[in-house]
Amino acid sequence: MKSFFLGVLAVVAVFLVIGYVGVITGTLIPANADGTPGKLERWAARQSLKATIAREAPSGAAPIPANDETLNAGIKIYGDNCIVCHGAADGRSSTVGFGLYQKAPLLGKHGVEDDPEGEIYWKVDHGIRLTGMPAFGHTLSDTQVWQVAVFLKHMDSLPPAPNAKWRALKNPAMLVPTDKLPKQMRPKSSG
């Protein structure tokens, strides 16, 4: 029995040493932002995010109505805080959003209209750990976080006035030249 436990301890020690050497040599967790995440990393990050949101995100509808006032305020907040990474209505990638690890999703193209409002609110409020997604809960008011969440929820069905405002927003960052983008991220017209 004693030798069995010693054997287990030896195996654990070997894994710890491999892990330690992997970390300090930068081979297990490389520090570059221009790599592609491995399957295990993607799985762990997704599971953890899903479980945290299930536990913490508010359920039910937003506490403010999705009227023009809310949507216009949400669009203004998006233009001031989010567009640099998540892009404008044209769904074009900026050098900033494209260079991040993980790449920032282009919300004008692949929006989050299908997600519950509470989930969008949670992501904006708390951010997403180990990605470029910042937490805005300490810098925007609770109402402002809801306003931008409600705008994202209704992005594909905006009334005319907010829609015009949204389409007029321009990304202040430099856009990635189309030929530098992988095929799936290119605007439709360029093939």
Q: Contact letters (x/-) for ligand HEC, 75-114, by CB under 6 A?
A: --x---xx-xxx-------------x-x-xx------x--
* Least distance in angstroms from the C-beta of 130 to ligand HEC: 9
* Least distance in angstroms from the C-beta of 123 to ligand HEC: 5
Report the residue number, 25 or 157, with the smaller CB distance to ligand HEC. 157
Which is nearest to 70 in space by CA: 172, 168, 161, 170? 161
CA 180 to chain centre: 22
Report the residue number, 42 or 180, with the smaller CB distance to ligand HEC. 42
Interaction of residue 148 with ligand HEC, rule CB under 6 A: yes
The Cα 13–Cα 9 span in angstroms is 6
* Least distance in angstroms from the C-beta of 179 to ligand HEC: 23
Contacts 24+ apart (CB under 8 A), 183-191: 185/93, 185/98, 185/106, 187/90, 187/91, 187/92
